[in-house]
Structures are given as structure tokens and as C-alpha cells.
Amino acid sequence: MEGPREIVTLRRDLAWGQPMFRDSSAQVRPLNERTDHPPLESTRMGRHRPPRTWLLLAHRAGDNAQVIALAEALGWPFEIKRFVYNCYESLVSWPFFTTLAGVRAGASSALEPPWPDLVLTSGRRNEPIARWIQRQDPARVRRVHIGRPWERLERWDLVVTTPQYGLPRAPNVVHNELPLQQIHTARLRKAAWGWAPKLAALPKPRIAVSVGGSSGPYVFDRPSAERLGELVSEMAGKLGGSLMVTTSPRTPPDAAEALFRSLAVPAYCYQWTPDETKNPYLAFLGLADRVVVTGDSVSMMAEACASGKPVYLYDIGRGRNAMRDASASAAPPEPWTQWLQRRHLKAWIYRINMQYGPRRLSRDIRIIHRALIDSGRAAWLGHGDPTGPGAPLRDVPRAVRRVRALFPETALPVQQPTPARLRVSTS
């Protein structure tokens, strides 16, 4: 396949053992039907080179963020592969298919030798692609999936998952508390530095509001957005502070408009665009004194908790379809007219599947909510405050150790959470 290629290389000061730039076009010694994983080539200095790593990115921002977070934490040079999918992709992306038929050639990243040592991926659409890559050099390529794969677990070298998927215990499965993220003080401080002058007029304390969208059985529509606006305005008003609001790719435009119009306190509002260089999401987390995040996005909840600020979860559902069990049990029935809307009908079908369908076809994010509330890391918006910061998050180091165990010959230390300079090239 021909198409754009994006190479991202972590580079630090030239202390041995730290990530350094390597030309991803360097040749790999051919292998002859080996039955085990061969060792990595040695460099001229007698040390093994870092594993050549490919990141398969898909259409979900949360999945991509986890893949990139793991790659950054590993500290190895990596190459990003992006894909555009054909309209019939869902017909060929089955757990037992090994094919590139679902990918639109020419619009997607090239897949060509030298083949990687490590493939990091997430999401159903990229599973056939990962299998195809491994088939090109099965003795060398290791595959790591983040989330819940459709393919049988034992076929993966490693699976990194979280509780809402309900995967069983297995030797090659890492069970984490929250999705992988790379939020740390230095990164937030750097992001906040460029935005601080623009937000200097906002009174403190400042409350960051991170907004997602509809997810599974929960719908984020205009009424839900207006209710969020009222609650965060009430919080900021009582504190004499202000709001920093940002939406995400999944936020419906009509809901974003309703949210912005419902705000009754000083606020800076940013409606998401694909231009990541202007996105203030990380800056808002860095500048905030408190963080409100909609309960639909597990990734945003993890990033909010990693910021070290008090976190409040917003229940985007309502009535009997609320995320909070206490709210749902005492709520009156919702008007039947809402089922005429496509997003509500889709959510209803998802709820039926959660109750009666196969477990692997749905996820229950309420498991994450309960864990965050019980640990004191978060509180429901409008229902008290977090009781404490909770234990330090160990999800990223845990996943890094397990991935590095696939390449024992590298023997590199776990990267500390310090910012790295990125070198990006396209061809």
C-alpha cells in the first residue's frame, strides 16, 4: 500500500540506554522460518537496538491516546500507521480474518519492510491488519492489543485491558484500573504555559470541564448538556470562580451549543476541531483547580485523575438511564417521544444487549465509576466532594514492564515521566 508515513522518534540527550533517533528504513536481517522469536540485532557498540515499533491508530481518539501513551512510556522509537477504511470494512474485519481488504490503499500509511518487532494496536478495525503484519514475519513480530480484542486472547502476545470489559484472568492479560495515559506535572505545565496569558482574566478558582458525548446506553443531548452547564455554573458561582470548557470529537454540535449557552459565569469555551496544535485540553487540566469530566469517557476520567486535581464526574444519563444507580432507581419514566431520536434508539438497543446479549458485545463503564468514587479519586457532580487523591496510579508502569518482558534482551529501564522532544517526519 502507498500512502503517508509518519515517524515519531523520542530523542533525549545522548546518554546510552535513552531513546535516540534511528532511521526506520534501516534494513533488517532476513529470517528463515524460525519457530521462536529471534533476538534483536546488536549495534556497533555491542548493545541490542530498541525494538522497531509500529503503532496502528484507528478512528477513536481514546484508543489512539492509549496506544501512544504506551509507546511514549516504553521510550523506544516508534512509527505511526494511520488508516482509512473502506465502506465494507465491517464485513471483512472478523476475528478469524487476516487481510488488508478493509483498508483503503493510497489513503492509508504504507505497510512494507522492514517489518516491526512490536505492533501496538487497539480497536476491532485494526485487528486484521495486525494479524497481516505478523504473518509477514511470524518469527519476529509480537502483537500487543489495548482494550478488548475480538480475536481469542491466547493468540495475542499481550493484552492490556480495564475492568469494564470483563476479560478473564490469563497469563498474557494485564488487568489495569484505568486506561493508559501520559499525564504528568511537567507535561501539564508545558501545555499551560502557552495558554496562561489568554486565560489570565478568568477569576480563580478555575474549573476545567472536559466534555465527551453519547456512549453505549448513555445519551449526551441538548437537555443533558444544559443540565451540565447549570451544575458547573452553580459550582463556579459558589466559589467565585470561572470555567474552562472544551468539547471532544464525540460531542454533538447541538449539545455543545446548548452547553455554551447555558453557562452563567465567566467562561472560556473551546469547541473541538481536528487541529491538535490549538486544542487547550491539556492546558485546561494544567491550569485548573478542579476538573469536571463527563462520565462517558473512561480515557478522559483517567487523565483527569492523573492531573492530581479534585475530579467530579457528570452523569450524562438521566431518569432510569442514569449512570448513578441511586438516581436511576428513584427517577420517573422518560417521555416516549425521545425514542424517535436516533441516538436514543441506539442507546436503548445497547441497553438491551447489555442485559440479554453476549457479554463481549458491550462494556459496563459503571464499574469504573464505582471504583473512582470508592477510592476517593472522584465524586459525582452535585453530590459532594472527592474524599482524597487515592493511591498512585500504576497502570502505565505495569503495562510497560509486561511489554518489555517480551524483549528481555533490551534490558532498558522504565522511562520516567519527563517530557521528550519529538521528531516527526512524513514521506
How does pLDDT run across 182-202, given as a tens digit for each residue?
Answer: 888 899 999 999 999 999 999
Among 236-245, 335-344, 361-370, the range scoring the smallest mean pLDDT is 335-344
CA atoms of 50 and 53, how far apart (whole Å): 9
**In which element (H, E) is residue 302 found?**
helix 298-306
Query: How sure is the predictor about 31, in pLDDT bands with cuts at 50, 70 and 90?
Result: very low
Q: What is the pLDDT of residue 355?
A: 56
Judged against a pLDDT cut of 60, whether residue 304 lies above it is answered with: yes
Q: What is the pLDDT of residue 345?
A: 54
Query: How sure is the predictor about 358, in pLDDT bands with cuts at 50, 70 and 90?
Result: low
Residue 255 has phi, psi (to 5 degrees) of -70, -40
- Could you tell me the strand order of the sheet in which 242-246 lies? 267-270, 242-246, 206-210, 290-294, 311-314, 378-380
Which single residue is written with the C-alpha cell 509500529?
54
The per-residue pLDDT for range 226-260, each reduced to its tens digit, is 999 999 999 999 999 999 999 998 899 999 999 99
Q: What is the pLDDT of residue 5?
A: 47
* The CATH fold of domain 6-177+395-426: Rossmann fold (3.40.50)
Judged against a pLDDT cut of 60, whether residue 343 lies above it is answered with: no
Query: How sure is the predictor about 92, in pLDDT bands with cuts at 50, 70 and 90?
Result: confident
Judged against a pLDDT cut of 80, whether residue 328 lies above it is answered with: no
Ordered by start, the domain boundaries in the chain are: 6-177+395-426, 185-380
Q: What is the pLDDT of residue 90?
A: 83
Q: What is the pLDDT of residue 209?
A: 98
Q: What is the pLDDT of residue 359?
A: 57
Judged against a pLDDT cut of 60, whether residue 278 lies above it is answered with: yes
Fold agreement (6-177+395-426, 185-380): yes
Task: Choose which CATH entry (3.30.9, 3.10.290, 3.40.50, 1.10.3470) describes domain 185-380.
Answer: 3.40.50
The per-residue pLDDT for range 56-89, each reduced to its tens digit, is 998 888 899 999 999 999 999 999 999 999 888 8
| DSSP 8-state code for residue 231 | H
